[in-house]
Amino acid sequence: MGSGSLLALLVALGACQLGVWAAGRSKVNPRIVVSPRGEREYTFPRNEKYPVFYHETNSSSIYVGGEGVLYYYNFATSETYPVEFPVENGAQCLKPGSPEDNKNFITLIAKHGSEMLVCGTGACNPTCWHLTEKKKDAPQDGRGLAPFTPDTNSLVIVDYPNIYSTIKKSQQNGKIPRFRRVKGDGELYTSDTVMQNPQFVKATTLKHEDSYQDKIYYFFREDNPDKSPEAPRNISRVAQLCKEDKGGTSSLSASKWTTFLKASLICVDPATKGNFNWLQDVFFVNASDWRDSKVYGLFTNTWGSSAVCVYSFGDIDNVFRTSKLKGYDGPDPEIKPGQCVPFRQHTPSETFKIADSHPEVENRVEPLAPTRSPLFHNKHRYQKIGVHEVSASDGHQYTVLYLATDRGSIHKVVELPGGVHNIMELQVFSKKDPIQSMILDHERAMLYVGSSRKVVEIAMDMCGVYHNNCQSCLLARDPYCGWADGRCQSIYRNREVRQNLNLEPWQGKCQNGEVKEADSYQNVTVVPVVPFSRYYLNCPVESHYATYNWYHNNTLIKTCNNTHPQPDCFYFIQNVSHTHYGRYICVSEEDGFRQALVKEHLVNQLRFMSQKGQATMTLASWLQLLLMVVLVELFH
Ligand SMILES: *[C@@H]1O[C@H](CO)[C@@H](O)[C@H](O)[C@H]1NC(C)=O
Ligand SMILES: *[C@@H]1O[C@H](CO)[C@@H](O)[C@H](O)[C@H]1NC(C)=O
Ligand SMILES: *[C@@H]1O[C@H](CO)[C@@H](O)[C@H](O)[C@H]1NC(C)=O
Ligand SMILES: *[C@@H]1O[C@H](CO)[C@@H](O)[C@H](O)[C@H]1NC(C)=O
Ligand SMILES: *[C@@H]1O[C@H](CO)[C@@H](O)[C@H](O)[C@H]1NC(C)=O
Ligand SMILES: *[C@@H]1O[C@H](CO)[C@@H](O)[C@H](O)[C@H]1NC(C)=O
Ligand SMILES: *[C@@H]1O[C@H](CO)[C@@H](O)[C@H](O)[C@H]1NC(C)=O
């Protein structure tokens, strides 16, 4: 299908409602809505208010940290065991804010070298343990690694042997959040003036060609220094630090990072000038050249819409290397602010002084060229983003985004040559059970989705939802799935499957023998219905891009399409009379593909039963029949 006809289709579907931008190249509402069934799940012995999750890539197990306990669950073997982590030695909070504070909430589960590190609040006494097999060793001081009480603004990054954290080390002092190196190459922290009320989002380390150039990048929101009424109150940032930073040369700066710089992240829709300034989450995608490594940033705005903007670390590095410092007009020192210094040297104090008083660069980080605009935006309020790259049967890599909504579901969005397609909504939990965590296992192509009650393992290649029907399988444009041997199969089982991911017409790819006669009245379900009763004919709406038509005896009686989105396309018969009997069929139509979804033949229950013979009838149905006969006679 050419982009012209795609545009026409979108216009027909009501482009304003879809919230489409940029010449209608994106399909932003989920095409199919499914509740995954048969996936494997682990329900915790009790609800956990602040659950934390750890999954090791390429394993089939998960660790869940809760209040005073760590649960292990293996999805392959169903093996499960708890490890208790009670408050140690009667520790207590001096001034508990709530009874909850006097408990040990696990806040960190991580691999540190070959060991497993588990840390918790320890009743205002942050504590860590090493865990080997099912045994924990003696408790250790966990200040800086775990907060004193459960805290949502904490970030810990383990990059063995170093550990970085934003958690304060003292309960009384230290109101100003800092980004620290808490373990490894000597403690360092950010100056108090470089961030204003930061809310940390995520961090990563990035290797450069020369190891002294290796960086730490972290992403956060903070108060906008521009207080003018038209300026947004919050601003999204990326900060850089050199991994080999040795701290300053004076006693005051000895424990401070000397290579800190921050820049604004821009995510603006060029069509509406709509600014998405609230960074929610980011996901890092590695590439062999660090410059091509990407950051997928998920942003929201005040109106509850979301946008995804993609940045490259090459662009981010370029902004930090070449931009002027905001508010600094003096000469550049020999070693520029933000520059990493080789051979175990310290940053010159002159450079540090300039950077410390002017920590922000003037240039802003913009999304990837050539568009420098969001990948897409829509009216869903997303909370988390994950990105997976899948190589399809045409040999190309396709990028799939997993976006967790605030309603217990995940949208699966694919970047295709024809634009971005929202191909599926997976309702993982009920609408009131928020998704607390979404972990991607890139090796096994699995998602681990956690709430406060359970964790679910979902295969990314869920091809069964496409009804084992060639057209559905190809129309889905799911890069994990394709058609081969009469089945909709996973690309991981069969690399030779037929797919339809580019803009070619797809119809020819399904051979005649595989096309089902859509309108056929074969395999109709016979439904006996009592005269004068009410009856609902229900057709599940799976694709937001399809039109659903109900036919009665080959006459169109009802149409449902995206103009009035509804979970189901139903036809209601208020009072069944003899003209309502006959054959009903619900046909979905999308991109020229027709499929019969529901086929029912309504027959008069009274006649139907008498035809079937009465020998097999139970007493109850006899009484029911008797009552009906009486009613029918009364009305006649
Ligand atoms: C993942 O596990 C499988 C089987 O256990 C193994 O063959 C494969 O090499 C592992 N992959 C990685 C990247 O470790
Ligand atoms: C990306 O690289 C980082 C460090 O270089 C590594 O820790 C991480 O596991 C990599 N991620 C993936 C998905 O390969
Ligand atoms: C800005 O930040 C404050 C708190 O830091 C928050 O209450 C507010 O909702 C944010 N505004 C927007 C538009 O996100
Ligand atoms: C009718 O049902 C049978 C068995 O349930 C199946 O083999 C056949 O393909 C179906 N025919 C149609 C047209 O759906
Ligand atoms: C259904 O239709 C019959 C005859 O057309 C009428 O007598 C009866 O009152 C109707 N029942 C209801 C519930 O409307
Ligand atoms: C959607 O349905 C309405 C009637 O309910 C119809 O007029 C309109 O043409 C349909 N749109 C599409 C795209 O089929
Ligand atoms: C539909 O066909 C059935 C018989 O198959 C008949 O009883 C019914 O009256 C027909 N209804 C209409 C509206 O054509």
566 lines ligand 6 (CB under 6 A): no
* Residue-level pLDDT at 520: 59
- Enumerate residues 6+ apart whose C-beta is below 8 A from 585: 519, 521, 524, 550, 551, 596, 598, 599, 600
- Give the pocket of ligand 7 (CB within 6 Å): 552-553, 578-579, 581-582
* Residue-level pLDDT at 517: 47
Give the DSSP letter string of 256-317: B-SS-EEEEB--B-TTT--B--EEEEEEEE--SSGGG-EEEEEEE-TTS-EEEEEEEHHHHH
Q: Which ligand is nearest to the CA of 607?
A: 7
Which residue's CA lies nearest to atom 4 of ligand 7? 582
* Domain of 539, in residue numbers: 520-635
Q: Which of 5, 11, 543, 559 for a ligand 6 pocket mutation test, highest count of atoms within 8 Å of Cβ?
A: 559
- Residue 231 is assigned to a structural domain of this protein: yes
Tell me, what CATH number does 629's domain have? 2.60.40.10
Tell me, what CATH number does 310's domain have? 2.130.10.10
For 397-448, the pLDDT digits (tens) are 999 999 999 999 999 999 998 789 899 999 999 888 999 999 999 999 999 9
pLDDT level of residue 628 (50, 70, 90 thresholds): low
For 350-361, the pLDDT digits (tens) are 999 999 999 999
pLDDT level of residue 107 (50, 70, 90 thresholds): very high
Amino acid at the residue 396:
H
First to last CA, the chain: 58
- Supply φ then ψ for residue 215, to 5 degrees: -125, 160
Residue 455 contacts residue 448 (beta carbons within 8 Å):
yes
Measured CA angle at 352 (ends 351, 353), to 5 deg: 95
Q: For strand 215-223 and strand 234-242, is the pairing parallel, antiparallel, or unpaired?
A: antiparallel
Closest-CA residue to 530 (of 600, 583, 574, 577): 577
Which residue's CA lies nearest to atom 14 of ligand 3? 278
For 46-76, the pLDDT digits (tens) are 999 999 999 999 999 999 999 999 999 999 9
- Enumerate residues 6+ apart whose C-beta is below 8 A from 143: 126, 169, 170
What would the two tokens of residue 599 be? Answer: 């086929």
Is pLDDT larger for residue 174 or for residue 531? 531
- Residue 276 is assigned to a structural domain of this protein: yes
Peptide bond connecting 370 to the previous residue in cis, omega within 30 degrees of 0? yes
Distance 580 CA to ligand 5 centre (A): 13
DSSP one-letter code for 208 = -
111 lines ligand 2 (CB under 6 A): no
For 499-523, the pLDDT digits (tens) are 988 867 666 677 644 434 444 567 7
Averaged pLDDT, 326-332: 93
286 lines ligand 2 (CB under 6 A): yes
- Residue 183 is assigned to a structural domain of this protein: no
Residue the block writes with tokens 């060029």:
270
The answer on pLDDT for 137 being more than 60 is yes
- Residue 118 is assigned to a structural domain of this protein: no
Q: Report the atom number in ligand 4 closest to the C-alpha of 522.
A: 13
In whole angstroms, give the CA distance from residue 53 to residue 345.
39
Q: Report the atom number in ligand 6 closest to the C-alpha of 562.
A: 1
Amino acid at the residue 89:
N
Distance 552 CA to ligand 7 centre (A): 8
The answer on pLDDT for 621 being more than 70 is no
For 284-311, the pLDDT digits (tens) are 999 999 999 999 999 999 888 999 999 9
525 lines ligand 4 (CB under 6 A): no
Averaged pLDDT, 248-271: 93
Q: Report the atom number in ligand 1 closest to the C-alpha of 58.
A: 1
Of the residues 379, 399, 415, the one at which a domain ends: 379
pLDDT level of residue 8 (50, 70, 90 thresholds): very low
Domains of the chain: total: 2
pTM, full prediction? 0.80
588 lines ligand 6 (CB under 6 A): no
Of the residues 349, 379, 409, the one at which a domain ends: 379
Angstrom CA distances, 333 to 329, 330, 346, 347, stand at: 12, 9, 14, 11
Q: Helix 605-612 and helix 619-635: axis angle, to 10°? A: 140
- Residue 410 is assigned to a structural domain of this protein: no
Of the residues 379, 398, 433, the one at which a domain ends: 379
The answer on pLDDT for 381 being more than 90 is yes
pLDDT level of residue 16 (50, 70, 90 thresholds): very low
Q: Which ligand is nearest to the CA of 59?
A: 1
Q: Which ligand is nearest to the CA of 544?
A: 6
Lowest mean pLDDT among 378-387, 522-531, 587-596: 587-596
Lowest mean pLDDT among 203-212, 261-270, 308-317, 604-613: 604-613
